[in-house]
Amino acid sequence: MISLRLYLSIEPETRIGPGKVRLLEEVGASGSISAAARTLGMTYRRAWELIHHMNEAFGQPIVTGTTGSLGGAELTDVGREIITRYREIEQQALKAAEPHLAALSGHIVAPSGPNDD
């Protein structure tokens, strides 16, 4: 099966794709970078680096720390908008690409195994 993967490019070094959007969604749901990282099977450091890179690319916070004894994190309005717009673009692109992906998938020939004669 052939699939489509969408990335938004911001400056030459920054791409936002399904992984980073999922990270933002998890931060929004959990209110914590560390909880989001655990859910996604990555280290806190890696999650923080990805968020920091997105903050730098946009020149403003996408995720901010919350104050209080337990700390935490929350999405900014820009962070929420990134998720919303990415998911909308993704849905529109998948809808447009679906017949083309299906047609191309029909051309994939399964490799023959040792018992296939």
For 33, 78, 115, the CA distances from 92, given in Å and listed in that order, are 29, 21, 42
Contact by Cβ (8 Å): 32, 83: no
User: For 92-112, what is the mean pLDDT?
Assistant: 87
CATH, domain 9-93, list 3.40.190.10, 1.10.760.10, 3.40.50.150, 1.10.10.10: 1.10.10.10
pLDDT tens digits along 49-93: 999 999 999 999 999 987 665 669 999 999 999 999 999 999 999
Quick one: what percent of the chain has pLDDT higher than 70? Answer: 91
Q: Which residues contact 103 (CB under 8 A, 6 or more apart)?
A: none
User: For 21-35, what is the mean pLDDT?
Assistant: 96
101 — phi, psi (to 5°)?
A: -65, -40
Band of pLDDT at residue 1, cut at 50, 70 and 90: confident
Higher pLDDT, 117 or 54: 54
Rounded Cα–Cα distance for residues 7 and 17 (Å) = 4
Cα dihedral 109/112/113/116 (nearest 10): 120
